Amino acid sequence: MANLPSGNPRLWALNQVSHRQTRQFDWPRNADGQYLRVTDIYGINTFSTKAMKEKLSKQTFQKLQATIKQGKKLDRSIADEVAHAIKEWAIENGATHFCHWFQPQTGLTAEKHDAFLSFDDENQPIERFSGSQLIQSEPDASSFPSGGRRSTFEARGYTAWDPSSPAYISEEPNGKTLCIPSVFISYHGEALDHKTPLLRSIEVLSKSALPVLKLFGNNSDRVVATLGPEQEYFLIDKAYYMLRPDLIATGRTLLGSPPPKGQQLEDHYFGSIKDRIQSFMQEAEFELYKLGIPIKTRHNEVAPSQFETAPIFEELNIASDHNQMVMEYLRAVAERHDLAMLLHEKPFAGVNGSGKHNNWSMQDSDGNNLLEPGKTPNQNLQFLVFLVATLKGVYKRSGLLRSAIAGSGNDHRLGANEAPPAIISAFLGEQLTGILDAIEAGTQAENGTEERIIGLSISHLPDVARDYTDRNRTSPFAFTGNKFEFRAVASSAAISPAMTTLNAAVAEALDDVYAQIKASLDKGVEFKKAVLEVVKKTIIETKAIRFEGNNYSEEWVEEAARRGLPNLRKSPEALAEMVKPESIEFFVNSGIFTKEEVEARYAVRVERYVKDVDIELQTLKELVKTYVLPAAYKQQQLLATSIQSLKDVLGGDAPEHQVDDLKSLSKLINKLHKLMDKFEELTTEHSGHEDLDKEAQKMGYKVLPAMLEIREVCDALELVISDDIWPLPKYREILFLS
User: Are both 156 and 288 inside the same structural domain?
Assistant: no
Q: Among residues 240, 242, 232, 238, which one has the least CA distance to residue 339?
A: 238
Domain membership flag for residue 323: yes
Report the pLDDT value the prediction gives residue 75, as an integer from 0 to 100.
85
Report the pLDDT value the prediction gives residue 145, as an integer from 0 to 100.
59
Mean pLDDT of 232-248: 97
User: Are both 683 and 646 inside the same structural domain?
Assistant: yes
User: Are both 242 and 276 inside the same structural domain?
Assistant: yes
Average pLDDT, the chain: 89
User: Are both 141 and 206 inside the same structural domain?
Assistant: no
Report the pLDDT value the prediction gives residue 686, as an integer from 0 to 100.
53
pLDDT(298) > 80? yes
User: Are both 515 and 654 inside the same structural domain?
Assistant: no
Task: Tell me how many domains the chain contains.
Answer: 3
Listed range (123-132, 201-210, 228-237, 605-614) with the worst mean pLDDT: 123-132
Other C-beta atoms within 10 Å of 612: how many?
A: 16
Domain membership flag for residue 654: yes
User: Are both 525 and 623 inside the same structural domain?
Assistant: no
Last residue within a domain, chosen from 593, 616, 633: 593
Query: In angstroms, rounded to a whole number, what is the distance separating the alpha carbons of residues 45 and 90?
Result: 9
Listed range (271-280, 282-291, 451-460, 611-620) with the worst mean pLDDT: 451-460
Last residue within a domain, chosen from 561, 593, 625: 593
Report the pLDDT value the prediction gives residue 148, as an integer from 0 to 100.
55
Q: Which residues does 633 contact at the CB level (< 8 Å), separation at least 6?
A: 669
Report the pLDDT value the prediction gives residue 266, as an integer from 0 to 100.
57
Name the band, by pLDDT with cuts 50, 70 and 90, for residue 470: low
Report the pLDDT value the prediction gives residue 144, as an integer from 0 to 100.
54
Name the band, by pLDDT with cuts 50, 70 and 90, for residue 460: very low
Question: Higher-confidence residue: 134 or 712?
Answer: 712
Beta strand segments in 400-442, E: 426-427
Q: Which residues does 330 contact at the CB level (< 8 Å), separation at least 6?
A: 231, 233, 284, 309, 341
pLDDT in tens, 671-696: 999 999 999 999 987 554 568 899 99
Domain membership flag for residue 17: no
pLDDT in tens, 350-383: 999 999 999 999 999 999 999 998 777 777 899 9
pLDDT(724) > 80? yes
Report the pLDDT value the prediction gives residue 471, as an integer from 0 to 100.
63
Phi–psi pair at 8, nearest 5 degrees: -110, 115
pLDDT(186) > 60? yes
Mean pLDDT of 697-718: 97
Query: In angstroms, rounded to a whole number, what is the distance separating the alpha carbons of residues 689 and 684?
Result: 10
DSSP H or E run through 211: helix 195-215
DSSP H or E run through 171: strand 168-172
Question: Higher-confidence residue: 635 or 551?
Answer: 635
pLDDT(171) > 90? yes
Q: Structural domain of residue 97, as residue ranges?
A: 38-189
User: Are both 429 and 299 inside the same structural domain?
Assistant: yes
Name the band, by pLDDT with cuts 50, 70 and 90, for residue 231: very high
Report the pLDDT value the prediction gives residue 650, as an integer from 0 to 100.
81
User: Are both 530 and 634 inside the same structural domain?
Assistant: no
pLDDT in tens, 38-49: 999 999 999 999
pLDDT in tens, 409-436: 999 998 666 667 789 999 998 888 988 9
Query: In angstroms, rounded to a whole number, what is the distance separating the alpha carbons of residues 102 and 81?
Result: 23
Name the band, by pLDDT with cuts 50, 70 and 90, for residue 147: low
Domain membership flag for residue 30: no
pLDDT in tens, 89-141: 999 999 999 999 999 888 888 888 889 988 888 888 888 888 888 988 765 55
Query: In angstroms, rounded to a whole number, what is the distance separating the alpha carbons of residues 243 and 715?
Result: 17
Listed range (241-255, 534-548, 581-595, 651-665) with the worst mean pLDDT: 651-665
Last residue within a domain, chosen from 162, 189, 216: 189
Return the biggest CA–CA distance within the chain.
106
CATH of the domain at 644: 1.20.120.1560
Name the band, by pLDDT with cuts 50, 70 and 90, for residue 146: low
Domain membership flag for residue 8: no
User: Are both 620 and 584 inside the same structural domain?
Assistant: no
Domain membership flag for residue 33: no
CATH of the domain at 140: 3.10.20.70
Please give the single-letter amino acid code of residue 461.
L
pLDDT(261) > 80? no
Scanning 651-736, the segments in alpha helix (DSSP H) are 656-686, 692-698, 704-718, 731-736
Please give the single-letter amino acid code of residue 619.
T
User: Are both 338 and 452 inside the same structural domain?
Assistant: yes
Report the pLDDT value the prediction gives residue 514, as an integer from 0 to 100.
98
Listed range (327-341, 421-435, 645-659) with the worst mean pLDDT: 645-659
User: Are both 401 and 505 inside the same structural domain?
Assistant: yes
What secondary structure, in 3-state letters, does 52-85 show?
A: HHHHCCHHHHHHHHHHHHHCCCCCHHHHHHHHHH
pLDDT(456) > 70? no
Listed range (23-27, 243-247, 399-403) with the worst mean pLDDT: 23-27
Question: Higher-confidence residue: 225 or 121?
Answer: 225
Report the pLDDT value the prediction gives residue 623, as an integer from 0 to 100.
98
Q: Among residues 267, 305, 327, which one has the least CA distance to residue 489?
A: 327
User: Are both 179 and 221 inside the same structural domain?
Assistant: no
pLDDT(448) > 60? no
CATH of the domain at 559: 3.30.590.10
245 burial level (CB within 10 Å; 0-12, 13-18, 19+): middle
DSSP H or E run through 13: helix 9-18
Q: Which residues does 722 contact at the CB level (< 8 Å), separation at least 6?
A: 634, 635, 638
Report the pLDDT value the prediction gives residue 272, as an integer from 0 to 100.
85
Domain membership flag for residue 396: yes
Domain membership flag for residue 567: yes
Phi–psi pair at 39, nearest 5 degrees: -65, -20
